[in-house]
A and B are shown apart, each in its own frame.
Chain A
Amino acid sequence: QSALTQPPSASGSPGQSVTISCTGTSSDVGGYNYVSWYQQHPGKAPKLMISEVTKRPSGVPDRFSGSKSGNTASLTVSGLQAEDEADYYCSSYAGSDNYVLFGGGTKLTVL
């Protein structure tokens, strides 16, 4: 099973909004509401930012939001801040055969 597809890079200026896409298939992203997003700063472990497509864990700023349409999920970061510069990964439940798939990651640059 191929990884989910993310753009390799995205960028925006402070205060702007940026959206990162995550495209899968009807067997993963489109078939379940178990899409998650992770933020990873260099040399650090990933941090859960969004679960179940839209849910923000406690402590995650409401500038981060998730959505899904068909086989594509999206993470939107509003009011970009310098500390948002990081790698972002999506993941999706993919059934009992593959269980969890990750996207290839998107490097977000705050200009």
Chain B
Amino acid sequence: QVQVVESGGGVVQPGRSLRLSCAASGFTFSSYGMHWVRQAPGKGLEWMAVIWSDGNNRYYADSLKGRLTISRDNSKNTVYLQMYSLRGEDTALYYCARDVGTRAFDFWGQGTLVTVSS
């Protein structure tokens, strides 16, 4: 069955960087775009970034441009999110999700929690 599993979260100090990973299984990973979406505690969903199936196209939310890099390794069925200059407002549950092909996300992981705190 289709699965995506995020990892890499934890407590990080303000100003530091962090890399999240999302391991996929149960489908042909190299055929799908993959997204990162986050949700701050008690808040709504915020789209962050997408990387197309071949890794050649990437897009970022305007508010986060310059502080993110999304990448993927199709040989490892894994997508990554590198975040820089972390701030308190980056504290959130970070989800990885598969793009069904129409900018809709049909499979989501359970998320990995990032807490930015000194």
The interface on chain A, measured as residues whose beta carbon lies within 8 A of the other chain's beta carbons, has a size of 28
A51 touches B104 (CB 8 A): yes
Main secondary structure of the interface of B (DSSP, over half): strand
Within 8 Å CB of A1, what residues of B?
Answer: 62
With A34-B102, A34-B104, A48-B105 already in contact, the answer to whether A97 and B62 are too (CB < 8 A) is yes
Give min CB distance, A49 to chain B, whole Å. 10
Interface residues of A in 1-30 (CB under 8 A from B): 1, 3
B44 touches A45 (CB 8 A): no
Within 8 Å CB of B62, what residues of A?
Answer: 1, 97-98
Contact of B89 with A by CB under 8 A: no
Q: How many B residues are at the interface, by size bracket? A: 20 to 34
Number of A-B contacts (CB under 8 A): 68
Complex interface bits, A63-90 against B, C-beta within 8 A gives 1, otherwise 0: 0000000000000000000000001010
The 11 sampled A-B contact pairs (Cβ below 8 Å) are A38-B105, A48-B100, A48-B104, A87-B44, A89-B45, A91-B47, A91-B104, A98-B61, A101-B47, A102-B45, A105-B45
Chain B contact residues, CB within 8 Å of chain A: 35, 37, 44-47, 50, 59-62, 95, 100, 102-106, 108-111
